[in-house]
Structure 1
């Protein structure tokens, strides 16, 4: 069981799902991956666990948010105040924070120069997702954007040569990829420029279960869940 409690600066270290339909999200992902959900605070934020290990978060969307959902990807920061300053200097826009997350750490949300929402996390204890790189857990995160050059310049300015996966796409946003045990082609892509994880896709069971549960296949190993949040499936590390 791969466990991880430390992340270097710039490494994707946390993912969470924000939605106005917590019940629907729990039903979909609980059925798909076997995830369990533990309420963390009075605002309705939940920790997602698999076999007792933390793999991410689930929380309510802002008041007035239209029905829908999204996955957020957070990059590790050792000094969130410095990161916030650098985001602005490099052409990004901070939209929230830094704000405390109880005793667990602090977070900041921003929009990078390519238009993708991104989070930054300064951990106070475990620095991010604990269970990784196995079926049902986070395996990878990719940034899909129509402006890969702007994105690469921004993240290189923040973190140097940290290896982040940035792919050309007409669809802009960070995408978490969750592990499955086997690979199977999910079909033709809707976006020829969006190559996902180089031909890797869901296991026979999971790939079939996602559309059956209400997900919409987008091709290139990508799916939109019933509320519109985009996620990927991969069997690779």
Structure 2
């Protein structure tokens, strides 16, 4: 997919891009022709993703930022604009888990998850949309989850991911007149460090955990980060300009 019919290379920002799904998205967008800003809490941890983007022939910039900190977000987006170019694609992928049953869940566990997923997406989008509206073209993709439909032990995560769906639909309404689309991708079980940590917490070997999940999925396999990157690639493409406010479940079966 071509990033743009324009001769000027467009700039994409991917949060939580040091590893896993975010890294796969960054590499895919570079392959699609975008320059990519690789954002994560630890700037040094972005080195591998930057190298992978550059291997695809793309330009990349690593930026360390806490997406839940308003001042740092503004600084990070300003740095991207100055060093790489004005960002017109934003993929809000940064996330954390603090799983616990409701009666055991502390306020810090709740606040951490809501802060990164929901507040982070709000702050990043608010900062980036100024560049998109000026350009008259933009793409926002928020990473939701099948957990938005409810998942035991994830009241905080489920609430955040469901909130991102409402946030996405509202962005579509508010920003459409500026040539900006907003969509969400809701992954099912994807092989990442996060899902490996979940298996460890449950005391289940990861290979066994993956086999269990594949067995109950209509498409009898688990997902890979590249499955999500492919969906994001579509949403940010020129051809998806009439698709907005949508939630796409990439989960190996019907959801939602």
* Bigger fraction of residues in helix: 2
Note whether the superposition's TM-score is higher than 0.5. no
What's the TM-score once normalised by structure 2's chain length?
0.30
What's the TM-score once normalised by structure 1's chain length?
0.32
* Bigger fraction of residues in strand: 1
